[in-house]
Amino acid sequence: MVEEIIELREAVDQLKEAVTSHAVVDQAIGMVVALGRITPDEGWAVLREVSQLTNIKLRNIAELVLIWGRNGDLPSDIRAPLEEALDKYGPTEIPGALSHP
């Protein structure tokens, strides 16, 4: 009985984490969609690509995108792959980014 309760609590904790993670990723997709004037599916692809290019978990990329949306800070090691991925789906540059000749 005690083991079942422990397992159920662990399952509930995992579900809570999944819901939180999903919300963070969805919000970041929304930012990328607005920024790049792309579809939500393309926004998902952009985040996934940045995650793969940087070898950083997608949820962490999403968190960095949201932090950038709040305070304008985006690490350069994320900015370049994000610009590269966005270039594949739309012509938009990240606001404040240096223009490439």
Per-residue model confidence (pLDDT) at position 55: 96
DSSP states along 27-53: HHHHHHHHHHT--HHHHHHHHHHHHHH
- pLDDT per residue rounded down to tens, the chain (101 residues): 888 888 878 887 787 777 677 889 999 999 999 888 899 999 999 999 999 999 999 999 999 999 998 898 888 889 999 999 988 887 555 555 555 44
CA distance linking residue 27 with residue 21, whole number of Å: 10
CA distance linking residue 81 with residue 20, whole number of Å: 25
User: Model's pTM, two decimal places?
Assistant: 0.73
CA dihedral 41, 50, 80, 90 (to 10 degrees): -10
Q: Please name which of 47, 4, 50, 1 lies closest in space to residue 28, comparing C-alpha atoms.
A: 47
